[in-house]
Amino acid sequence: EVHLLESGGGLVQPGGSLRLSCAASGFPFSNFDMMWVRQPPGKGLEWVSGIRGSGHTFYADSVKGRFTISRDLSSNTLYLQMNSLGAEDTAVYYCVKGYWGDHWGQGTLVTVSS
Amino acid sequence: DVVLTQSPLSLPVTLGQPASISCRSSQSLKHRDGDTYLHWFQLRPGQSPRRLIYQVSNRDSGVPDRFSGSGSGTDFTLKISRVEAEDLGVYYCMQGTHWPPLTFGGGTKVEIK
């Protein structure tokens, strides 16, 4: 059974940094594309970043240059390093298996506020 | 970027009655490989999103057969044949044909009339 468990969310001041983690299990992690999708409070879903099985990475324009997606194949963990955070980054962040979104984690809340 | 426009924004329904959600794309979602990468997701209150339909019309495992997807090119529809209480929530379409970026529709909230 596929399982995705995010962690690392919390309250951070504007301009600060945070690293999200997603522990994946139940599938061959290295073979699959993974992505991060967020949902700001009261708003819809927004794709943030993705990493192909090949390791190639992609970013939404809104986070390019500030966020970095990476993975550790030895521990089956997906990461999202978030720098220069602003209020607009406040959201629930979901770890998602596959570019077709077949499985989602429970989400972790990031709040950017002073 | 591809823009997906969902309608209606809010869909008041009567339990046991059908419901239909539209998703229109700013450009054709038929990929050069011949497939169409348009998917539907359900977001129930307090839960994480769940995919219901992939590639227009394929139901995911465990999804009740009252859910169906159809469409082609730029116009797509998610239908619920008989709405049940557990179907209440927000529904999103998402395209993966022209990316990056992957894009989502704005969402349709299905609620009790």
Q: What is the mean pLDDT of each run of 10 residues along chain B (113 residues)?
A: 97 96 98 97 95 98 97 98 96 96 97 89
The residue of chain A nearest to residue B46, with distances taken between CA atoms, is: A106
Closest C-alpha among B59, B69, B71, B60 to residue B29: B71
State the Cα–Cα distance between residues A114 and A33, nearest whole angstrom: 35
Beta-carbon separation of B107 and A44 below 8 A:
yes
Beta-carbon separation of B104 and A101 below 8 A:
no
Residues of chain A that touch chain B, judged by Cβ-Cβ distance less than 8 Å: 35, 37, 44-47, 50, 58-61, 94, 99-107
CB B68 within 8 A of CB B57: yes
What are the backbone angles phi and psi of residue A87, rounded to the nearest 5°? Answer: -55, -30
State the Cα–Cα distance between residues B2 and B68, nearest whole angstrom: 23
Beta-carbon separation of B39 and A101 below 8 A:
yes
State the DSSP code for A60: -
Which tokens hold the place of B82?
Answer: 């008989």
Per-position pLDDT tens, chain A of length 114: 999 999 999 999 999 999 999 999 999 999 999 999 999 999 999 999 999 999 999 999 999 999 999 999 999 999 999 999 999 999 999 999 999 999 999 999 999 999
